[in-house]
Amino acid sequence: MGSITIFHASDLHFGAEDQSALDWFAGQVAMACPDAVFITGDITMRARHSEFAAAAEWLHALGRPLRIEIGNHDMPYFNPIERFTNPYRRYHSMAALAARSNSMAGAELPGIAMASLLTTAPAQWRLNWSKGVVRRKALASTVANLSNQPSAPIVLVTAHHPLVETGTHGTALTKGGSHALETLTKAGVTAILSGHVHDPFDLVHDNDHGTIRMIGAGTLSERLRSTPPSFNKLTINHGQLTVQPQFMR
């Protein structure tokens, strides 16, 4: 297996996007031709049809295999009926359009097992619905997905919210996150890729089941916190994963 490069970005927030940052990222993709581009949620600002349409066009134009997750901003904001009856419809339509000719297909990335973990919910038993939550059904689905894949030296899980706090200015406050982190460690996951907090991080978490990495991408939107627009360059070589944050100058 040769070296594999993944560009990991997050929190595009179309509707509050930074066009210069999007252009910069697209230029980096065009120059480097990574094996895949991962986007870990918050594709839009308010889940408007126009925001999803613009995002789909931009993602499709990248011309690389895509892996896209849903974020808390990607569920209908102004249409409560749709939010509770079909909250992911707009997101799935966008993802299908974006990936119509550059989807992750077949064996995907050699030597890498991958699965998604849903950390969003249309409603929660707390006032702030933007924070993360891992339902038991979602976690069981992720673990089952991984168990059905061939053994691989690198196992990646993509989600929107960090499962536990990472010391960044933004918080995730993910309910069920600690349990999920331990369960995924036990399942042999190498790293969990996420976003949401708008600042990059790369942390090693130890628990009773072993060691797991938590890797977060920053934002390509105007909603900056403590760092400039950025993405993560992931390189996998001989079973080793390295992460290099890339900041727009």
Residue of 203, 183, 158, 142 lying closest to 8 (CA atoms): 158
Query: 66-113 pLDDT, tens per residue?
Result: 999 999 999 999 999 999 999 999 999 999 888 775 665 444 799 999
Query: 176-208 pLDDT, tens per residue?
Result: 999 999 999 999 999 999 999 999 999 999 999
**pLDDT value, residue 1:** 56
**pLDDT value, residue 107:** 45
Residue of 193, 195, 215 lying closest to 204 (CA atoms): 215
Q: How far apart are CA 26 and CA 33, in angstroms?
A: 10
Query: 9-20 pLDDT, tens per residue?
Result: 999 999 999 999
Judge contact between 197 and 166, C-beta under 8 A: yes
